[in-house]
Amino acid sequence: MRIARVSVPDLDGPVFGVINGQQIGLLKGHPFGELEPAGVALDLDDVKILSPVLPSKVVCVGKNYADHAKEMGGEVPAEPVIFIKPNTTVIGEGEPIVCPPQSENVHHEAELAIVISHLCKNVSVERAGEVILGYTIANDVTARDIQHRDGQWTRAKSFDTFCPLGPWIETELDPSNLDISCEVNGEVRQSGNTHDMVRGAHEMVAFISSVMTLLPGDVILTGTPAGVGPIVHGDEVVVTIEGIGALANPVVLR
Ligand code: ZN
């Protein structure tokens, strides 16, 4: 099932819905728990797709693919290294990534994103599936020059618009063997598979929830394969993940 968050011309606020071919069946309330159909179906062309959730936090895993750890000049760390992007970085399908004037080297990072369904803490690896609503596509946009200058990652990863997410949440998906790629202006920059993740999706939910409480709608980015590189004003970045779809965003300079 594909769950999207959309804005509809005649409704006051965004609503969730289930995508069925070219149609979207609207839901009452939110998708965390029992789904309640609103009895209204619209053509997808008549709605605007937004980021599929508004997370309280986006927790990211660094260096979770060996080939990317290597290109960054390091090894896979003995323990997972995690960091947080503020929720104000999140944008949806088609919205522009805005490069800030402080950076001259903004990079794309194609990532599989986990969407959490339930408030949870200390979840075991075995039970992690019970707190996952589904998976979506993310681009962990990073000001690489600032990341290297600062020696830590908060500023480099936290500019507004630096977390494109979407276009929807796929709820029926085995995350362990999915092709993942990133194209810039049609040229393939990253091409990998989630089976090369050092730590899998369920393992990361267990690890992160041993540190912090996760809330419904929270998002975990699972790391990026090799091939990260610059994006500049006028580019279009498309991240594609098998079984989910494609997330496209234009790039502009502020
Ligand atoms: Zn990343």
Dist. CA 127 → ligand 1 center (Å)? 25
> Residue 168 contacts by C-beta under 8 Å, 6 or more apart in sequence?
2, 3, 4, 19, 49, 52, 136, 244, 245
Dist. CA 112 → ligand 1 center (Å)? 10
Q: Strands across the sheet with 106-108, in order? A: 142-143, 106-108, 229-230
* DSSP percent split of the chain into helix, strand, coil, nearest 5: 15, 45, 40
Dist. CA 59 → ligand 1 center (Å)? 10
Using pLDDT thresholds of 50, 70 and 90, give the confidence band for residue 39: very high
Q: Is the pLDDT of residue 69 over 90?
A: no
pTM, to two decimals: 0.97
What is the per-residue pLDDT for 145?
97
The mean per-residue pLDDT over the stretch 173-181 comes to 97
Dist. CA 4 → ligand 1 center (Å)? 23
> What percent of the chain is modeled with pLDDT above 70?
100
Looking at residue 11, what DSSP letter applies?
S
Residue 163 to residue 251: CA distance in whole angstroms? 12
Query: What residues are paired with 23 via a beta bridge?
Result: 20, 43
Dist. CA 254 → ligand 1 center (Å)? 22
Dist. CA 226 → ligand 1 center (Å)? 11
What is the per-residue pLDDT for 11?
83
Dist. CA 218 → ligand 1 center (Å)? 16
**Per-residue pLDDT tens digits for 154-164:** 999 999 999 99
Q: Is the pLDDT of residue 9 over 90?
A: no
The mean per-residue pLDDT over the stretch 159-171 comes to 98
Using pLDDT thresholds of 50, 70 and 90, give the confidence band for residue 171: very high
Dist. CA 234 → ligand 1 center (Å)? 22
Dist. CA 64 → ligand 1 center (Å)? 9
Judged by phi (left if over 0) then psi (alpha if -120 to 50, else beta), residue 149 lies in: alpha
The lowest-confidence range among 4-13, 24-33, 178-187, 229-238 is 4-13
The mean per-residue pLDDT over the stretch 16-28 comes to 96
What is the per-residue pLDDT for 105?
98
